[in-house]
Structure 1
């Protein structure tokens, strides 16, 4: 058993309920409170929340807190139209958070309509109808057809705003009512789905409509006038009550049984959305509901409690995290329907900046290379390194003839000779099985190349399948073939451990080399120090780790931009760096005559088609920017970028220190961190560069001084 407190800050009133969530999936209301806060009062066309309503609202929220705090509930605080459109929304929500500790979620109009719908259909037996929720500053309309939310919209007018705009608070004139009706109808009539659902009943929510129900029950002599949920009223009675109200003064309306005094000034305006809707769709009757947004929120929570996490929608998973409104909005606004299909338990996208290595010459061809990275200076270094290496004709690639991936069938508790003999005599069966399992790769002239048994230990054997995957990265191809091949080894089922590709694609070792003159690199002394620093990484694992990380700054940025598996690329690179039993740098630099020669070799598995590459539009665009046709081209370009990156890093370290070029980009990141605008960035970065010591405090002080 647990407790849920819902705080609902509407444009006219604030409401709070505490619900006990029972273990059997039901819930019981413990507390219900309402305060007339009128947060939308006098907002006017400038859409600014005023101080008096703000103070009144904060006082009400503090009172709500005093009522629910003893239950230690989960608190869900929502607010709707007035705060949604307020120009000072952020300042208001920050003040509320500071003074009450309550984090409000600002519902969109669509969300408000959705929760209205959920609240109604879970508590009333409604198959067909039009839901109308008349709030203080907005009206929500939802068409319910066969129990489903078929159409919904939130319109920017309500009881408070109509009253203020058309002078409907005190004695009202026919002219003002006519002007308000004209405005309302102009917004209704552009909704074709309203006319398509003529003759349906109207299901009513909202304070003004609840007041209408209480007045109607009083006229009918009902004993309990507040028992309105499911109460029905004829169109004629609605019109009769309105006709009586329109000719009364505000003081006279304050004495009508069933009408709260605090609503006497907004009851005329609050009923106009209903009257115009009834006439437009020729509604036969109205039905009142006490269940709306708050009950919809509870219904969603209870429904989600019955779902497994993977069955939730992205927004439902976001809601379960109980983030503040700013974070929720940020994550929601970065959602993608495509990406939601790629991973499990999806909630949002994380955007990584993409920059361009402007020109790198690989095998006599110029390429512009997209790079995705969050780290400052990486792309600048790649451009600098490429510029140096382009001077003598660029970089040159030596690639294997085929794109060969390795798949493994793993066996244990067995002698290697038995499996080795089995593999030797069943070669034809393996090839036939592979062709049957993945005919599409054979149509592209790829497929199984060889099968060999390899002893791993005295009791462990790997049967290695070498498969040409052409221009695909190949994981799905390899794993599909392996799963089929397992059946061929049925006699060894008791010894079978698993079937999986290897990311250590030793048949795909690519070598990229380049050269630059000693003079172009900064002279003999600088060239010799570059060679010495690189040699240090051949003998010291600490230096080798950092040097290889710098290489992958370039390689992985290209892999990420093109939708390839950068984790697999890095894993293979690190394994290759350890192939001698000692982890060392992947690059080698040495001097011959007047030239500094560099080389990088490693197995690299990437693709240009299939999988997420095809599913991600930006990955396809990145490949189009490079205008490459094959996976072999991409491998060469990626290692070329890695070699250029390495040269730039080594030169920076031996020729003045890595920080000198790096810090300007760090200053930019720090300036953004403390809240500088794009326009303020250049000036703040310059000021930071003049300081002896730089941190967030210094940056904040400089920014504050700039803004004076």
Structure 2
């Protein structure tokens, strides 16, 4: 197939300053001329496009997503403490109402305990050697020179700290998993730059000048992996609560014994399906929170992985926990500083430095609220009827 004779009309750009209202209007006019669409609502926004370098290219307008408010959600965490009202951006009817119901139950039962138990962000280069012995020998050399490698990596960032380098050999290939802490940033770009500097130091200082690729794909950036479930990517966060049997019945219309019975059934179903999540729908709550607060929404691919653990207690109460092993979030940098996204983070008291663990705990507590509500709705039998009542557009 040849492209000879076909014309390519590129999207217009302003070489002097491409982040202005004038440049955006020029692109909208171009798009309307090329397609016949009318971009009246895309053109409506309240912030200065000059804020956008580093967030987007070829800016022409905005996609508005409705934001609902849920809560109060009582959280008794290490970092998040008190009653929180949670902004959730979504176009799925029933979602806000469902999470709100779960938050009511959790709050009336004393709130959610939350804990961040581990931090770890990765970049995973791979070195190509002549054979497996050379790969193993290079790995041993890395152990002997870790402090120099650490210095080379950390020289590129004020926030990133190289904690360890994990090693995995396949034939002549040495796959490495550089594990960092990244402060209040999600850190994917940060650790990419740091790891490149580290690998160049290795290549320069090792006598064999080994060849490498910056990613061997075992960091599984924006993809789920069992490795991340076990070893953590981003933050590993636990949310847990003990639910009163009486409150479950009065608010959710479900009893603890039936919930535990259904938990065993759904556990087996998730195992059979090979699911990365033995819970109900953590992606729903996380996506709505991510859009509202300026997170990189593609990180839901990793962050939605979850492990539910529950106990039916002798007194008729129900212990329910959910562990998010690869929650990738930020409270500083990226889209978090844009106008509406910053407002939503401010609503949670989470904008800026020193707030990432607090926000992670809020995310986990929100997910637990959604798990409780949907699971109870399935038992009670109002899952479909609720969607039919709240989740369908009608003229």
TM-score in terms of structure 2 length: 0.78
Distance 2:317 2:139 in 1: 49
Say which of 408, 411, 424 aligns to 2:124. 408
Contact conserved, 2:280 with 2:375, CA < 8 A, in 1? no
Distance 2:391 2:276 in 1: 22
Equivalent residues in 2 for 1:110-149 (5 A)?
none
Say which of 123, 134, 140 aligns to 1:421. 140
Equivalent residues in 2 for 1:278-677 (5 A)?
308-309=10-11, 311=13, 313-318=23-28, 319-320=30-31, 322-324=34-36, 327-333=38-44, 337=49, 341=53, 342-363=55-76, 364-400=81-117, 403-412=119-128, 414-415=131-132, 416-438=135-157, 440-441=158-159, 447-455=161-169, 457-490=170-203, 491=206, 495-499=211-215, 503=221, 504=228, 506=232, 508-522=235-249, 526-541=255-270, 548=279, 550-574=281-305, 586-593=307-314, 594-603=316-325, 604-614=327-337, 616-628=338-350, 629-667=354-392, 669-671=393-395
Question: CA-to-partner distance for each residue in 1:529-582, whole Å, 9 max, x for gaps?
Answer: 3223332232224596897562221122112211112321332433xx5xxxxx
Distance 1:549 1:516 in 2: 18
Compute the displacement of 1:371 (Å). 1.1
Distance 1:310 1:478 in 2: 33
Residues 489 and 549 (structure 1), Cα distance of their counterparts in 2 relative to 1, 3 Å cut: farther
Long gaps (5+) in structure 2: 15-22, 222-227
Contact conserved, 2:117 with 2:238, CA < 8 A, in 1? no
Distance 2:290 2:65 in 1: 13
Provide the secondary structure at the position in 1 that maps to 2:391. Answer: helix
Larger Rg: 1
Distance 1:382 1:591 in 2: 23
Distance 1:530 1:489 in 2: 54
Equivalent residues in 2 for 1:189-338 (5 A)?
308-309=10-11, 311=13, 313-318=23-28, 319-320=30-31, 322-324=34-36, 327-333=38-44, 337=49
Provide the secondary structure at the position in 2 that maps to 1:406. Answer: strand
Distance 1:394 1:483 in 2: 44
Figure out how many residues of one structure are paired with residues of the other and give that number.
348
Distance 1:334 1:664 in 2: 32
RMSD: 2.9
Equivalent residues in 2 for 1:96-107 (5 A)?
none
Question: CA-to-partner distance for each residue in 1:490-513, whole Å, 9 max, x for gaps?
Answer: 156654122486544716321110
Contact conserved, 1:555 with 1:638, CA < 8 A, in 2? yes
Question: CA-to-partner distance for each residue in 1:168-199, whole Å, 9 max, x for gaps?
Answer: xxxxxxxxxxxxxxxxxxxxxxxxxxxxxxxx
Long gaps (5+) in structure 1: 1-22, 24-304, 578-585, 672-708
Normalized per residue, the structure richer in helix is 1
Distance 2:256 2:75 in 1: 23
